[in-house]
Amino acid sequence: MDVVTIGESMAVFTPASTGLMRQAVTFTRRIGGAESSVAVSLVRLGYRAGWISRVGDDEFGKAIVAFLQGEWVDVSQVKVDKEAPTGIYFKDKETAK
């Protein structure tokens, strides 16, 4: 392992169109979190990177871990929390650039 990052990732929801958030009906889901993003970027540059964190025992937590595994980030130290959910974040379309 060359680098290990530690920090929270979450499910980020961005409206599919511009406008007021309260009027949004359709959202795009992505994975957010600086530490996991850095780990993915380092793997893409040829480094061996791991990510240490805790995710909820829910579909968002599973999606985050699956995404990072698909990017070849080592997630062997990620803990699954059966008590707390994975974080979610809603981001305005205008500020999502």
Indicate the domain borders of the chain: 3-17+24-88
Give the three-state DSSP class for 17. coil
Give the per-residue pLDDT at 10. Answer: 98
Q: Strand 27-32 and strand 49-52: pairing?
A: unpaired
Place 22 in a pLDDT band, splitting at 50, 70 and 90: confident
Instruction: Summarize pLDDT for 58-69 with one digit per residue, the tens.
Output: 999 999 999 999
Q: Which tens digit of pLDDT belongs to each residue from 33-86? A: 999 999 999 999 999 999 999 999 999 999 999 999 999 999 999 999 999 999
Measuring CA to CA, how many Å separate 19 from each of 14, 26, 28? 11, 12, 15
Q: Helices 34-44 and 59-70 meet at what angle, rounded to 10? A: 20
Q: Which fold has domain 3-17+24-88?
A: UDP-N-acetylmuramoyl-L-alanine:D-glutamate ligase (3.40.1190)
Q: What pLDDT is recorded for position 95?
A: 58
pLDDT band at 19 (very low <50, low <70, confident <90, very high): confident
